[in-house]
């Protein structure tokens, strides 16, 4: 099945939190008319809220579009003509597993069903669906209007054509979708980040560095390195002519010693008080606009150098 | 003790591998005359090697400087007038613990002694020194002429004035030195990177993604994010008004589940064959020049946005 043309795409977002509005901004950048985008949310002030909040995610020349997107007042009117239904409602299995059978009843037969969940697998969300092959997880990295990654996590029942159409959709928008081959707690990106976070907490807790110093270490070493080439490529380059194998031959002993005594802190342990407090005192309210603007420049710098090769 | 003026700084590098030449390039950018830099190495072709290889680390307008730096033929002539002695010789305790007592005998009494080791603590390197208070580890992130981070790892015997002078030196050069408060296997940066690497290997080994997909995930999500704001600041921003504490309240359950079943692969295990082979096949010879040029642009993008605030 060929993907419908961009001017015929009709996307419905279910849920209008931070992720929902950021996705709205991303979609608006690629749709022909703002009316092709619909938001459905049960909050009573949804129209005022979207008109007021969405412009914060949009470039100035698009601010006006916020008032032209469609706000649906019922699930039926939200999905009945949609080609894509993208859900970022509450992270609750009961919400999602009740939602999809309803959507399935009301939406066109070939509409794509995407969940932005960071933790509830498509197989669990689809338990009450007649046709679970239509659903997959499309997990964005926050905020999706800036970050290129989308983790596509199908269940074992998801139809390959649904996966292919989803891949084609995101690739056509210049994003970076990756299909995760198994449903797995936390998928891939968060698992990687949480592994580094755990060791970060351990090292701060052990008194080696402060929260601020740890962040600065990451910002001035592996952050910029990994923005350019991921861990395997980096260590492959670091291993000389024998690549990654040479790297492990040279310093595998140190790597293993670090792994052996890596920190096993847990959520709720004693570190929380100290680490939460330090973080609050140093950062207060983070300037997210600055972060997003700067992240965009970083991504543009890499893209630009890629295009020059 | 006030740091000597830049025009009076005389730096001797012991060891001329990748790190040594990269440090040479970094120092040359800040010294008044190339003769203030000296390289000592036991390889017989050291002069030709430096003249031929060092320019690869230098901007074109500085290529000519490579032939003007001093090449010492004995340790005595290398260190007798130095204000800083920076060692990146073989990663062997016997080498380093024999070197420093010699250097101590031959160098001026107030010269700074720095080791670039990634794993051998200053306390162990200093066992044969008369005055172990003069030595500390100054661990660069590779390649140091590009990456801003320097991990300063004093032993418990290192003199605070030695630490302060070292900090002042690197700050004056616009780098990002961080003092690590305890000697600890792998220090901080490598421990963090290795924690993420271990989970990366696990996820590739478990068949969730390929080596290339894993790298792309990092390059399009946490890489650019952490180039801009480190993990604590990022999750603090992600937790809404309650910051990092709010983040853990919201998704601490998922974080803990990811931690509980994180991959415990080890060096030498079965994953190596598959992961080494995939990496070799995908990347072959990495274009390190492109990587370094692009990393520089990324760092400049962040610095530029910082200067605008």
Specify the CATH number for the domain of residue A163.
3.40.50.720
A135-140 and A149-154: which strand pairing? antiparallel
Percent of residues in chain B assigned helix, strand, coil, to nearest 5: 55, 10, 35
**Residue A1: which pLDDT band, with cuts at 50, 70 and 90?**
very low
> Three-class SS of residue A121?
coil
Same domain for A36 and A54, yes or no, is yes
What tokens appear for B261 in the block?
């079943």
B273 in a domain, yes or no? yes
Number of alpha carbons in the 13 Å side-chain half-sphere of residue A156: 1
Same domain for A58 and A113, yes or no, is yes
Tokens 């996705």 sit on residue? A23
A34 in a domain, yes or no? yes
Tokens 């003249």 sit on residue? B51
Same domain for B199 and B281, yes or no, is yes
B287 in a domain, yes or no? yes
Same domain for A121 and A14, yes or no, is yes
Paired residues of B150 in beta bridges: B140, B177
Domain boundary among B152, B179, B206: B179
B26 in a domain, yes or no? yes
CATH of the domain at B198: 1.10.1040.10
Cis peptide before A160 (omega within 30 of 0): no
Which residues constitute the domain of residue A138?
Answer: 6-179
pLDDT at site B240 = 86
Same domain for B164 and B240, yes or no, is no
Which of A144, A180, A229, A292 is best to mutate for the B interface (most B CBs within 10 A)? A229
B1 in a domain, yes or no? no
Of B217, B267, B297, the CB nearest to A188: B217
* 8 Å CB contact of B217 and A305: no
Same domain for A250 and A275, yes or no, is no
Yes or no: say if B180 and B188 are a contact pair by the CB < 8 Å rule: yes
Residues B182-223 have pLDDT tens digits of: 999 999 999 999 999 999 999 999 999 999 999 999 999 999
Domain boundary among B129, B150, B179: B179
B2 in a domain, yes or no? no
pLDDT at site B99 = 98
Same domain for A121 and A253, yes or no, is no
Same domain for B232 and B98, yes or no, is no
Same domain for B197 and B135, yes or no, is no
Same domain for B157 and B239, yes or no, is no
Cα–Cα dist A183/A153, whole Å: 6
Residues in CB range of B205: below 8 A, 6 or more apart: B263, B265, B270, B271, B274, B275
Domain count of the fold of chain A: 3
Q: How far is CA B23 from the centre of its chain?
A: 10
* 8 Å CB contact of B251 and A215: no
Same domain for A62 and A151, yes or no, is yes
Domain boundary among B156, B179, B202: B179
Strands (E) in B157-225, as ranges, are 176-179
A184 in a domain, yes or no? no
Q: What is the 3-state secondary structure (H, E, C) of A76-109?
A: HHHHCCCCEEEECCCCCHHHHHHHHHHHHHHCCC
* 8 Å CB contact of A221 and B248: no
Tokens 């980040």 sit on residue? A193
Same domain for B50 and B115, yes or no, is yes
Cα–Cα dist B239/B253, whole Å: 14
* 8 Å CB contact of B200 and A287: no
Residues A222-257 have pLDDT tens digits of: 999 999 999 999 999 999 899 999 999 999 999 999
Which tops the pLDDT comparison, A263 or B231?
B231
């Amino acid at each position: 099945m060929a993907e419908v043309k961009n001017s015929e795409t009709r996307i419905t977002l279910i849920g209008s939190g931070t992720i929902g509005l950021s996705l709205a901004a991303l979609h608006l950048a690629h749709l022909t008319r703002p009316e092709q985008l619909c938001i459905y949310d049960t909050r009573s002030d949804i129209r005022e809220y979207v008109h007021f909040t969405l412009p914060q995610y949009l470039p100035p020349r698009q601010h006006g579009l916020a008032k032209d997107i469609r706000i649906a007042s019922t699930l039926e009117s939200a999905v009945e003509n949609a080609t894509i239904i993208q859900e970022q409602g509450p992270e609750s299995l009961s919400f999602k597993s009740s939602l999809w059978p309803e959507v399935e009843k009301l939406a066109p037969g070939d509409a794509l069903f995407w969940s932005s969940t960071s933790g509830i697998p498509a197989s669990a969300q689809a338990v009450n669906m007649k046709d679970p092959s239509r659903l997959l997880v499309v997990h964005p990295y926050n905020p999706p209007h800036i970050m290129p990654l989308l983790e596509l996590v199908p269940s074992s029942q998801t139809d390959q054509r649904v996966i292919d159409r989803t891949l084609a959709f995101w690739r056509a928008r210049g994003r970076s979708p990756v299909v995760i081959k198994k449903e797995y707690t936390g998928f891939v990106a968060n698992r990687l980040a949480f592994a580094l976070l755990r060791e970060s907490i351990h090292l701060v807790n052990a008194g080696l560095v402060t929260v601020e110093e740890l962040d600065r270490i990451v910002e001035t070493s592996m952050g910029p390195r990994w923005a350019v080439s991921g861990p395997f490529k980096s260590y492959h380059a670091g291993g000389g002519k024998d690549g990654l194998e040479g790297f492990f031959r040279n310093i595998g002993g140190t790597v293993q010693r670090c792994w052996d005594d890596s920190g096993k802190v847990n959520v709720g342990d004693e570190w929380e008080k100290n680490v939460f407090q330090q973080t609050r005192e140093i950062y207060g309210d983070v300037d997210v606009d600055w972060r997003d603007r700067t992240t965009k420049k970083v991504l543009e710098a890499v893209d630009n150098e890629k295009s020059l090769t």
